[in-house]
Structure 1
């Protein structure tokens, strides 16, 4: 979907509403609500990720790096196998290997041999990684998670609706 400058944010017009109107005008009435929902979710994700990336940049983190550090900080003894971390984050093993290597290069995690399985590694959060993720979490909590821009009732409904959607797509078993 492309928008002209006249339908962009500066004009105050909602480009997704315009796209929905166009879908309907072109005979796709049945698909128009779904297109608007999917496009709205994708746009909301872009807006949030742009904000989060800007807030994490001073910490030298991306959201993916932040997620892995935060996951390890919650784990027992602040360590987890690479396989389990990949499953929890729903990240392809190749992507997780690259992510872990960059964090290890920055001394935020250590990769140690798994004594129970010589073919796998365990990621261990370093004290520097723990301190960094705690600082970054404070910023994200204050600037994003506590200030999401919706009422608490709207947030509850949104989480519930998206949870049903995710469960229906096999993201988790309800």
Structure 2
């Protein structure tokens, strides 16, 4: 996951030192947290991109396929996909159009709501998402670069941050299998 030529000094630690030198002590910890998470995201994204490249998928397209594959019937209303992916509807529409063009999903009229679209996972879509999942699991998720305790702690900390930022409401009763 790390770069091929690691730096000899942690630039984020140096930035924190500079924040203190300039008298921004109250902001130093926050700046360090934000910058650290953003850099970690870049490193993780690079690993994910490398694992998905042989499958000719972006992470957005992979997420859509995986979400459809998790449903009982391999189908989901477009509106539900937009809600669950937490991205702008235009981005989801672009992702859907590309997956339709690639033959991985079909977009059809909803059987009970003529105004809505239903997304259907094709057999080739199921095959590519299963292959891509094997790659992600073995190349990224099983080797994330932290031990189990650190991974668990990081997920809990980030979940508390996300909940506090209004990203979701922690309601154990709302967990259910997708449609």
Q: TM-score range by the shorter chain?
A: over 0.9
Counterpart CA distance in 2 for 1:143 and 1:27 is 43
Match in the other structure for 1:140: 136
Counterpart CA distance in 2 for 1:144 and 1:11 is 22
Q: Check if 1:45 corresponds to 2:41.
A: yes
**Contact 2:105/2:119 (<8 A) preserved:** yes
Segments of 5+ residues of structure 2 without an aligned counterpart are: 171-179
Counterpart CA distance in 1 for 2:80 and 2:35 is 32
Superposition deviation, residue 54 in structure 1: 1.4
**Contact 2:51/2:140 (<8 A) preserved:** no
Q: Check if 1:59 corresponds to 2:55.
A: yes
- Give the RMSD, CA atoms, in angstroms: 1.0
Relative contact order, higher structure (CA 8 A, sep 6+): 2
Match in the other structure for 1:160: 156
Q: Deviations over 1:93-134 (max 9, x none)?
A: 111111100000000000010122222211100000000000
Counterpart CA distance in 2 for 1:70 and 1:91 is 16
Superposition deviation, residue 76 in structure 1: 2.2
TM-score (structure 2 length as normaliser): 0.90
Counterpart CA distance in 1 for 2:48 and 2:7 is 25
**Contact 2:106/2:122 (<8 A) preserved:** yes
- SS where residue 81 of structure 2 aligns? helix
Instruction: From the superposition, tell whether residues 147 and 11 of structure 1 become closer, same or farther in structure 2 (CA, over 3 Å).
Output: closer
- SS where residue 116 of structure 1 aligns? coil
